[in-house]
Amino acid sequence: MTTVDEALDNAKSSKFHYKVLFVSGLGFFTDAYDLFIIGVVILILPLAGWNNISIFYKGLITSTALLSAIIGSVTFGRLLDYLGRKEIYGLELVMLIAGALGSAFLTPTNNILVFILWRFLLGVGIGGDYATSSTIMTEYSNTLNRGKFVGTIFSMQSFGLLAGPLISILFLTSGLSPSLTWRLLLAIGGIPAMLVIYFRRTMPEPPRYTADVRGDIKTAEKNLRSYTGIDAQSKRAEKVNAKWYDLFKDKKFLITLIGTAGTWFLMDWAFYGNSIMSNSILSFLVPSGLNGINAIILTNKYSALIFGIAAFPGYWVAVFTLDKIGRKKIQITGFLMMAISFGIIALFPGIISAAYVYYFLMIYGISYFFIMFGPNVTTFVYPPEVFPISTRGFGTGISAAGGKTGAFIGTFADTLILAFTNLSFLMWILSVLAILGCAMTVFLLPETKGKTLRESSGENRYMNQT
């Protein structure tokens, strides 16, 4: 007899895997674009008549979506376990689209409060996507390629990351007014999500969840057959009875949760603070005689260069090596190289100038490559693999919330640090955070490469036959 779990663990890569990839991955393209485009928009707003954006409000506007993503990831993660995957999948995109379009078309000039409220709604949807998409893709994946499948969903972020500066350059050089440009840049963020809402809402409940949490083996086998074409038969279901509070009571789960949430916190501080503020950081390289739209265009060209040459390939090298090298080794390597790259920039502040632009871009680019070929991908892949299926959404949601807490603090704090100190001081801080992330990975996280979900999640300890 082959159980539902065994059938999915041993399944060959097939078209249903790629269907789930498309439905989940396009959402992550949108997530990345929406989060990072605000760094460009915040520079355009003063040129579009916004004259009341203080340093404080600048930090708040750029980081609000990250703050609300904390709420979204935990809320949707818990609902994912309580109500089921099918019941809520797609609702996070509805909130995301409303937030993107509202911030673009329903925000009056100079009305910072309304702008922040729409960005808050957008962030809740983004946080929900972090909890739902990784969990669902993990539960459809086979053991051999699970890292590649889940990593691919997250790496769709690379297209959104690159699209932001390229679209910005297109608009800024087209002659469109700044007042129209910033609204269009925000509105575009809702379009990809619209394409996949229907498919998310019509997906069946993942068979693993139906069998292992609901105990409905017949429906699980039926959905497995109809959606994947795979047959499985079991005499009886083996339910996983781990409760949400077991993540805090069980010492092993608690240590793992500290590891997944903690390393994601440290990585996101470095990554989001760096990326959302990249235009401000790269403005240090702009010649003093260049300002206004032309200065923003140049910083976007630098961003596109770094994202295209360094960040983009880093994502995909990680995707195709996760199941060969392993999650832990890649994460440790990434954190170490981040620490070294940030440390070099901090040690030699003279390269932070237009005179040494190529040297700076090379080192800054290396840091981006190893963020992607490192903890940016692995911190997303880890959580749904290391928590039992009955608490997987919640554990993943808390882990993502840890990341977005770091992203919020990093984006807000980096704005103030750049305003009141200098880039060299910021790089020292980021280097120390990367060292801490490396240490947490070494001591708190297991290797999940080549393990079935039941082995890597520890759910065998919480199984009862029904």
Q: Residue 318 falls within a domain, yes or no? A: yes
Binning pLDDT at 50, 70 and 90, where does residue 2 land?
confident
- Whole-number pLDDT of residue 271: 82
| pLDDT average, residue stretch 117-131 | 97
pLDDT digits (tens, 9 = 90+) for 68-108: 999 999 999 999 999 999 999 999 999 999 999 999 999 99
From residue 294, give the alpha-carbon distance in Å to each of 185, 274, 291, 301, 396. 17, 22, 6, 11, 42
Residue 120 lies in a domain: yes
Residue 25 falls inside a structural domain: yes
pLDDT of amino acid 354: 65
The H or E element containing residue 357 is helix 357-371
More confident residue, 339 or 63: 339
Reported as a single tens digit per residue, the pLDDT across 318-373 is 999 999 999 999 999 999 999 999 999 889 877 766 677 778 778 888 988 999 99
Residue 362 lies in a domain: yes
Helix, strand, coil fractions of the chain, as percent rounded to 5:
80, 0, 20
Question: pLDDT at position 466, please?
Answer: 46
- Residue 191: which pLDDT band, with cuts at 50, 70 and 90? very high
Q: What is the pLDDT of residue 282?
A: 63
CATH of the domain at 113: 1.20.1250.20
Give dist(CA 216, CA 259) in Å, integer: 33
Euclidean distance between CA atoms 349 and 60, whole angstroms: 28
Three-state DSSP at 133 gives helix
At 236-282, the pLDDT tens digits run: 778 999 999 999 999 999 999 999 999 999 999 988 766 644 555 66
Q: Which residue has the tokens 């981006």?
A: 368
CB 239 within 8 A of CB 464: yes
User: How many structural domains is the chain composed of?
Assistant: 1
Residue-averaged pLDDT of the chain: 91
Q: What is the dihedral of CA 75, 76, 78, 79, to 10 degrees?
A: 120
What is residue 55's predicted lDDT score, i.e. its pLDDT?
A: 84
Tell me how far CA of residue 306 lies from CA of 71, 165, 300, in angstroms.
Answer: 31, 10, 10
Q: Which residue has the higher pLDDT, 457 or 162?
A: 457
* 461 part of a folded domain: no
Q: Does the pLDDT at position 286 exceed 70?
A: no
The answer to whether the CB of 411 falls within 8 A of the CB of 273 is: yes
464 domain-assigned: no
Indicate the pTM of the whole model. 0.91
DSSP string, 35-54: HHTHHHHHHHGGGGT-----
Could you tell me the residue range of the domain that residue 279 belongs to? 4-451
pLDDT in the model for residue 259: 98
Note whether residue 100 is domain-resident.
yes
For 239, the 3-state DSSP assignment is strand
The 10 Å CB-count burial string (b at 16+, else e) for 181-219 is bbbebbebbbebbbebbebbeebbbbbbbbbbbebbbee
pLDDT at 412: 80
pLDDT in tens, 391-418: 999 999 999 999 999 988 887 887 788 7
Kindly state whether residue 332 falls inside one of the protein's structural domains: yes
